[in-house]
Amino acid sequence: MSDSGTGRRQWLGLTAAIAALVSACRRTSTPQDSAQRALGKPVSPYGERSPFETEARFMPEVRFPEASTSLTPLQDSCGILTPSSLHYERHHSGVPRIDPASHQLLIHGQVDCPTIFSLEDIKRLPSISRIYFLECSGNTRWIEPAAATAQQTHGLASCSEWTGVPLSLLLSEVGVQKSARWILAEGADACKMQRSLPVEKAMDDILVAWGQNGEALRPEQGYPLRLLAPGWEGNVSVKWLRRIEAVEEPYMTRDETARYTDLMPDGSARMFTFVMDAKSIITYPSGGQRIKAGFCEVTGLAWSGRARVRRVEVSVDGGNTWIDAKLQEPVLDRAFVRFRLPWRWDGGECRIQSRATDESGYVQPSREELIAIRGVHSDYHNNAIKVWKIAVDGQVSGA
């Protein structure tokens, strides 16, 4: 009987406590609570992000904005995919307005059957979807802007799911002749961007892409058609693709002679340096951010155009010692890889950095190691280790 009475008293006490808590919540409700209970925004034909989310592409001030860039806010990213609206841009003569109903792709030159494909023709063919990173070979300048962020130093790199038709399928349809060792790809922009590519790559893994992240390409990304050359410098993934010519030798166009070459210390120049080597960047903590002493999860992105990323190491003592970070699944070939490392910051000044190793055995070099090989006159393919400095007040800046 006493046990029953005790249970009843406990139940009444719990009920009273819940009633008091509900009453307190009602007394402390805010206008925002009332607004949240009101009817919300109705459905819309195309989704938008919350107005509280303000990540945006950074656009450097330039004299000719039609021949400029916008950079992806890597420090604000999560996972490995870049939203299409935040994918970096690089244009040489602005973004053309193209009606997909009238757009055509001509494949000609040293082929058995020169053919004009409409967008509808291409979409009728078997398509595939692949996740690949895309990086401008001019990403990461040797001289950084003051108070640089991860976006300003590494933001000419993004990662998307691309959908399209293998270029090899189209080339097989037209019958590429044995004498053709290269192809010339041309865009429909005002400058008619042209780049030469080896037939071996064209017959391997290049896509003629019409989709990005589950929808049509954005105009800034080459709508309605673009090339996508996995692991190679972004410039060869010609946007607004209108023509492919099979040829014996590279065309030596302006953008593969005057640009996109690497001047070496002895005065020679590396040309057709297509592959983007292993690279990584810590996105938290990174430039422009402030952290507090105590636990901190170090995280960032790594990628390689040679092979799948096998390992990412992090140093929190200026490169004296290195710790293996955890690679977040999925770890895909020639795609961004997210890495993470739990860390407890003691509040003292320190330097943090990361380095990637891919399955080919290539290890991301330090700035000093890269300069020893290539000098300081090359303006492209800088994949040196990026060092961040954390001050005693928690402010993070470039080192």
CA distance 398 to 12: 61
Neighbour count for residue 108 (Cβ, 10 Å):
14
Q: What is the pLDDT of residues 362-394, one digit of tens each?
A: 999 999 999 999 998 888 999 999 999 999 999
Mean pLDDT in residue range 283-306: 97
Q: What architecture is domain 65-260?
A: Alpha-Beta Complex (3.90)
Contact assessment for residue 182 and residue 249, using Cβ atoms and an 8 Å cutoff: yes
3-state secondary structure of 309: strand
pTM over cut 0.75: yes
Burial class (CB in 10 A: 0-12, 13-18, 19+), 376: exposed
CA distance 41 to 1: 57
Q: Where are the domains of the chain?
A: 65-260, 279-398
Query: Closest Cα to residue 345, out of 285, 397, 304?
Result: 285
Mean pLDDT in residue range 250-265: 90
Mean pLDDT in residue range 1-9: 55
Q: Measured in Å, how far apart are the chain's first and last C-alpha atoms?
A: 74
* pLDDT band, very low/low/confident/very high, at 147 (cuts 50, 70, 90): confident
Q: What is the pLDDT of residues 158-191, one digit of tens each?
A: 999 999 999 999 999 999 999 999 999 999 999 9
Cα dihedral 248→253→255→261 (10° resolution): 60
Contact assessment for residue 296 and residue 285, using Cβ atoms and an 8 Å cutoff: yes
Contact assessment for residue 387 and residue 399, using Cβ atoms and an 8 Å cutoff: yes
3-state secondary structure 89-103: EECCCCCCCCCCCCC
CATH of domain 279-398: 2.60.40.650
Query: Closest Cα to residue 133, out of 334, 360, 317?
Result: 334
Cα dihedral 332→334→338→339 (10° resolution): 100
Better-scored residue on pLDDT, 328 or 270: 328
Q: What is the pLDDT of residues 310-326, one digit of tens each?
A: 999 999 999 999 999 99
